[in-house]
Amino acid sequence: MADKELTCKDCGNTFVFTEGEQAFYKEKGFENEPQRCPDCRKSRKAQNNRGGRDFRR
Other C-beta atoms within 10 Å of 46: how many?
9
- How many residues in the chain? 57
Q: Is residue 34 near Zn ion by the rule CB under 5 A?
A: no
- Stretch of residues binding Zn ion (CB under 5 A), selected from 5-13, 24-32, 43-51: 5-13
Do residues 13 and 37 lie in contact, with contact meaning Cβ atoms separated by under 8 Å? yes
Q: Is residue 16 near Zn ion by the rule CB under 5 A?
A: no
Q: In angstroms, what is the minimal distance from the CB of 36 to Zn ion?
A: 5
Integer Rg of the chain from CA: 14
Q: Which residues bind Zn ion (CB under 5 A)?
A: 8, 10-11, 37, 40
